[in-house]
A and B are shown apart, each in its own frame.
Chain A
Amino acid sequence: MSVHNLNPARQQPGRYDHLIRPDGLVHRTLYTDPAIFDEEMRKIFGGSWVYLAHESELPDPHDFKTATLGRRPVIVARDGNGALHGLLNRCTHRGSLVCVKEQGNAPRFQCPYHNWTFGSDGRLLAVTFPDGFAASFDKKTRNLGQLPRLESYRGFIFGSLNPEVEPVAQWLGNARPVLDWAIDKDEAVSRRWRVVKGTHYTFRANWKHQNDNNCDPYHVPFLHSSTAKMNEVMHGVGKGLDHVKGDRNRMYVQYLGNGHKLFDQRPEMGDSWPRVRPIPGKETHATAILAEAGEAMGAKYLELVGRAGINLIIYPNLFIMGHGMFAVYEPVSVARTNTRYYSTLFDDAPAAFNTLRLRFAEDFNNLAGRDDNDAMERIQDALDTIPEMEWLDFSRGLGTPRESTDENGVITGNVMDDTGVRGSYLRWKELMHAEPQLGVVT
C-alpha cells in the first residue's frame, strides 16, 4: 500500500508548488484557468484511473455503455466473448463519433459517415468500396483507439490512457476496505445488482468544487439549514443529516492517499432506516417488503434503503455513498461540471425495495443538494471575476492537535476539518507535476 505524506517537504518540487501552499491556501487559477483545465484532462483524467461504468450496466456479450474519460467520449463494450474494452468513440477514417447511444447491445459499430464498420472489440471489420484503397492499406492499422488499461474492481470499471498506471486494486489502496465495506453490505443481501441511472445535474463551476464539497461536512449545518429546519418542524428530530451539526463527536474525515478521501458518519449514525424521511410510499412499501420477505429479511432490506453513512471520494471522479448510491463527476469545461447519480437495484429483491431505493435517492438531492450547486456557482462567479483576491482557505485543522497519521499513512482529522480535501490537492500537484506518457492501443 502506498503511503502519501502530507509533509510538503517530502513532495517533489514542481511548477505548481506556488499555487498550493503548505499553509493550506490554494490559488484561484486552479478553478478558473482553461489551460490548467486542459492539463488536468491529460494528466488527471488520462494519466490516472477514471471510473467509467459498472459491469451490471453491460452484463451480456456485445453490451455497451458510453462514458467520458475526462472530456473524451469512450465506449465501454463487451466483445462476443464478454471481454471488456475501452474504445475511443472516434472513427479512424474522418474522426466522427461512431456511437451516440447511451447504452445498448451492438455486435458492430458502424460510422454513419462512410459506413466503416468496427467490431465490439474495436477491430475494423470492413470499409466500403475497398478497391479504392492501395494494396498496402492495412485494416489492422485503422482499429478504433483503445485505452491501454481497463480494469474492473468488484464491478466498478476504471480506464486509463497511461500504460504505466498501477493496478486498480493497488491504486485504491486505503480506499479499498471502505469500498469493500459498502459492496459487502449490499452483497450480503443480494449479488444480483443492476445499476440504473439516477438524476443528473449540471452546474456552472469547476469539477474540483464538487470533489471538495462531498468531503466537507463543515458546510452541512449551514448551507443545508433549510432542509434541517423543515425536517425538525415537519417530522421531528433524527431525520436526514441532523447528525452532522458540530465538531465534537466521533465522526471524522480521512485522507486515504492517491487523492482518495472519506467523510465517515458511521460512528454517529445508528440504523439507517429510522433516519429515512417520509419518502413517497414509505409506509405501504415497507409493509409490502416485510410481508414478502418476512420480518427478519425484510428488516435487512429496509436497512439498505437509506443513507449508509460514508462519503467516499475515489479520486478524481467517483463518489461512493453506499447502499447502492454513487455519483460520477464529469468535467465539461473549466467552469461547467455534470454530476451523474446512480442507484443500484437488486433483481432478486421485492419490487417495493427497489422502488423505495429510487424514492430515497431523489430525496436529499432534490431538497438540499441544489444548495451545493448554488454555493459552487457563487464561488465560481467570484473566483472568475476578482483576480486581486487570489486564495481559497483549506487550512482548517492544520497545525492543530486534531490530525493524526496511522501506520498505513491514513491521516485522520476532525469531522469538520479540511484534512481529506488538503490531501486531494497534494495528489493533484503530484499528478500535474508528473509527465505521463499517454498512449492508445490501435
Chain B
Amino acid sequence: MTDRESAAIREAMLREPSSAADALHIDDGRYAALAAETAAAHGRTDPATLSPGDPAASVLYREARLLDGGRYRDWLTMLAEDCLYWIPTSRSPSDPRRESGVNLDDKRRLLDRIVVIETGLLRAQDPPSRTARIVTNVESWKTPSGAIEVRSNLMLWERRRGYLDHYIGWQEHELVPSSEGWLIRRKIINLLNCDEPQGNITFIL
C-alpha cells in the first residue's frame, strides 16, 4: 500500500457519518434491550402463536426448538406418559424385540438420560453438543382414534469440540390429544446410516 492510499483510508475512517441516524440508535439502552430480547428468544419454551395451520408442524417445530436449546425438562412435558422414543439400528420396519436400538426409551429411561446430563458430570456432554436441526416435509394424517400420525424429514448438525457431525433421516411422530394440547406418544428417528456405527448420540435427537 502506498503512503497516499493509507492516508486516504485513515481520512475516511475519521470522517463523520453521512447521516447521524445511521449510528445514533446504537446506545446503551439499545444494547440492554438487545440483551433482554436475546435472552427471551433463547429461553422461549411456549407454543408459537402464529405458526402454520397444520397443528402437527407446530408441535414438531417447538420440539426442535426445545431440543436444540437443551431444554430437556420442557421437552419432557411434550411427551405422553406412555411415550416411546426409538432410534432403530436397521431399516424400518424393524422389530425392537429382535434388535437393540441406538436408543429405545420409555419416559422413565428418558428421564434417567436427562438426569445424567443434568449432573454436569457426563463427560460426553462436556462441553455440550451444539445442535441445529431442520424439520421439513411435514405431512400428517388424522387417525380414527383422534390421534395424528406425522412424517417429517430431519437434518441435524452437531458441533462439539471443533468437530462437525450430522444426523439425517426421517421421523415418525404420533400425537395424541390431551387437555394441554397435543402430546407425543411415539417418536421414531430413522437415520440414513441406522445400520452403521454411530457417534456421540448423548443428546436427544
**Is B truly associated with A?**
yes
Residues A373 and B200 in contact, CB atoms below 8 Å apart: yes
Q: Are A362 and B97 in contact (CB under 8 A)?
A: no
- Across the two chains, which residue of chain B brings its CB closest to A227? B116
A256 in contact (CB, < 8 A): no
Within 8 A of B (CB), among A85-117: 102
The residue from B89, B109, B115, B197 contacting A338, defined by CB atoms under 8 A apart: B197
C-alpha gap A201/B181 in the complex (Å):
37
B199 touches A202 (CB 8 A): yes
CA distance A121 to B47 in the complex (A): 62
Binds B, one of A10-18, A184-192, A351-359, A399-407: A351-359
- Name B105-150 residues within 8 Å CB distance of A: 105-106, 108-109, 111-113, 115-117, 119-124
Contacting residues of chain A (358-396) with chain B, CB-CB under 8 angstroms: 358-359, 361-363, 366-368, 370-371, 373-375, 377, 381
Sort chain A's interface into a size bin.
35 or more
* Segment of A24-32, A72-80, A295-303, A340-348 engaged in the interface with chain B: A340-348
> Is A154 in the interface zone, CB < 8 Å from B?
no
Query: Chain B interface secondary structure, helix, strand, loop or mixed?
Result: loop
* CB proximity of A289 to chain B, nearest CB, Å: 13
In contact, A202 and B197 (Cβ under 8 angstroms): yes
Q: Are A229 and B119 in contact (CB under 8 A)?
A: yes
In the assembly, what is the distance between CA of A373 and CA of B124, in Å?
8
Q: CA A278 – CA B108 in complex, angstroms?
A: 8
Chain B residues closer than 8 Å to A202, beta-carbon distance: 196-199
Q: Which of chain B's residues has its CB closest to A356's CB?
A: B97
Do the beta carbons of A280 and B108 come within 8 Å of each other?
yes
Instruction: Verify if A126 is at the interface (C-beta below 8 Å from B).
Output: no
Chain A positions within 8 Å of B116 at CB level: 226-227, 229-230, 367-368
Q: Judge whether B104 is part of the interface by a CB distance below 8 angstroms.
A: yes
> Restricting to B81-121, which residues have a CB under 8 Å from any CB of A?
84, 89-90, 96-106, 108-109, 111-113, 115-117, 119-121
Task: Chain A residues near B202: list those with CB within 8 A.
Answer: 370
Contact across chains for A226 and B123 when beta carbons are under 8 A apart: yes
A9 in contact (CB, < 8 A): no
Chain B interface residue number, banded: 35 or more
Q: Which of A203, A281, A362, A381 contacts B103 (CB 8 A)?
A: A362
| A359 x B104 contact (CB < 8 A) | yes
B53-103 residues at the A interface, CB under 8 angstroms: 84, 89-90, 96-103
Q: Is the CB of B100 within 8 A of A367?
A: no
Q: Which of B98, B103, B112, B198 has the most CB of A within 10 A?
A: B112
Give the distance in Å from the alpha carbon of A201 to the alpha carbon of B201 in the complex.
10
Complex: chain A residue closest to B111, CB-CB: A234
> Which residues of B33-55 are within 8 A (CB) of A?
none
Q: Given the known inter-chain contacts A226-B116, A351-B97, please indicate yes or no for A375 contacting B102, CB distance below 8 A.
A: no
A363 to chain B, nearest CB (A): 8
Contact A230 B119 (CB under 8 A): yes
Q: Is A163 an interface residue (CB 8 A)?
A: no
A196's partner among B98, B122, B200 (CB-CB below 8 A) is B98
Mask: chain A, 189-208; 1 = CB below 8 Å from B; 0 = not: 00000001111111110000
User: From residue A220, how far is it (CB to closest CB) to chain B in Å?
Assistant: 12
Question: Which of B100, B120, B196 is within 8 Å of A343, CB to CB?
Answer: B100
A35 at the B interface (CB under 8 A) = no
Residues on B with beta carbons closer than 8 Å to the beta carbon of A225: 119, 121
A351, A371, A375: most-surrounded residue (chain B CB, <10 A):
A371
A354 near B105 with CB under 8 A, answer no
The CA of A366 and the CA of B97, in the complex, are separated in Å by 18
> CB-CB < 8 A to A203: which residues of B?
199
CA distance A363 to B109 in the complex (A): 9
In whole angstroms, how far apart are the Cα atoms of A277 and B56 in the complex?
Answer: 34
**Distance, CA A200 to CA B88, complexed state (A):** 12
**A36 part of interface (Cβ distance < 8 Å):** no
Distance in angstroms from B59 CB to nearest chain A CB is: 23
CB atoms of B123 and A374 under 8 A apart: yes
Contacts A279-B109, A338-B197 given: A362-B101 contact, CB under 8 Å?
yes
Q: Pick the residue among A197, A229, A370, A381 that contacts B121 (CB under 8 A).
A: A229
Q: How far is the CA of A266 from the CA of B126 in the complex (A)?
A: 32
Chain B residues with CB below 8 A from A367, complex form: 112-113, 116
Given contacts A196-B98, A362-B101, 17 further A-B contacts (CB under 8 A): A197-B100, A199-B101, A226-B116, A226-B123, A230-B119, A280-B104, A341-B100, A355-B96, A355-B97, A366-B102, A366-B103, A367-B116, A370-B124, A371-B123, A374-B123, A375-B123, A381-B161
Instruction: Please name 10 pairs of A and B residues whose Cβ atoms are closer than 8 Å in the assembled complex, sorted by A.
Output: A199-B100, A200-B197, A226-B122, A280-B105, A341-B100, A355-B97, A358-B97, A367-B112, A371-B123, A377-B161
Residues of chain A having any CB pair with chain B under 8 Å: 102, 196-204, 223, 225-227, 229-230, 233-234, 277-281, 338-341, 343, 345, 351, 354-355, 358-359, 361-363, 366-368, 370-371, 373-375, 377, 381
Q: Which 5 A-B pairs have the closest CB atoms?
A: A202-B197, A226-B121, A370-B124, A200-B197, A226-B122
